[in-house]
Amino acid sequence: MAILTIAVSITAPALANFFHGRVLDSEARRLLAATRQAQSRAISEGVPVTLWFDSSQNEYGIEAETGAYEQDQKAETLVIDHHVSLKVTTLNIGASRANGSFGPSSGSRSSPSSASPQQGAHAGMPQMRFLPDGSIGEDSPQMIQIVGSDESSLWLALSRGRLNYELQSRASY
């Protein structure tokens, strides 16, 4: 019994770190799946869909843009594990194009479908906006940092082709 107690006391800290890492990985993959779900929903329903982030409540959600008096019946709110937090850490696509750090601009045209409406309960919160043609709105953030309780982090970053988001183990600007 004493040998078993010693073995458990030696391996317990290593197992705790292992499980905290799994929580971070799981939350990152769940967030990536939410981006893909929002983008697919925007394409299939033909309306812009936003993925909003509320770091003060430790939650995020998916919501279609509807009329002023309509509510999205398929809206979802997802709660982040209390061992994980999200940080919007980089410029949005439009701002980085303006300062020349994100590649060529699509010109000075502004279409109503690419403007980011700040309406509803999530106005003023960071949002990824997926348009009906499958593109990502210019006001969407390039990166979201997903931080674990041990300060390890993963990054949800805009892909090189700027068509979707992908997970990265470190930030690359």
Choose the weakest-confidence range: 28-32, 104-108, 167-171: 104-108
| Torsion angle of C-alpha atoms 141, 132, 76, 167, degrees rounded to 10 | -40
pLDDT tens, residue by residue, 104-146: 333 333 333 334 444 556 777 899 999 999 999 998 999 999 9
Residue 91: per-residue pLDDT: 63
The mean pLDDT value for 85-99 works out to: 63
Radius of gyration, CA atoms only, the chain: 19
Whether residue 101 is predicted with pLDDT greater than 80 in this model: the reply is no
pLDDT value at residue 112: 36
CB distance 164 to 31 below 8 Å? no
pLDDT at residue number 170: 76
Q: Which two tokens stand for residue 91?
A: 């410029």
Which range among 52-61, 123-132, 164-173 shows the weakest confidence by mean pLDDT? 164-173
**154 or 110: whose pLDDT is higher?**
154
Give the mean model confidence (pLDDT) for residues 85-101: 60
Q: Which two tokens stand for residue 143?
A: 């990166």
Q: CATH number of the domain at 19-105+122-168, out of 3.30.365.10, 3.30.70.360, 3.40.50.11290, 3.55.40.10?
A: 3.55.40.10
* For residue 46, pLDDT beyond 70: yes
| pLDDT 10s digits, 62-73 | 999 887 667 888
Q: Give the pLDDT confidence score for residue 20 in this predicted structure.
A: 54
The pLDDT of residue 98: 46
- For residues 164, 170, 171 and 173, what is the CA-based torsion angle, rounded to 10 degrees? -90
pLDDT of residue 70: 79
Model pTM score = 0.72
Answer yes or no: is pLDDT of 48 > 90: yes
**pLDDT, mean of residues 15-19:** 60
Q: Is the pLDDT of residue 90 over 70?
A: no
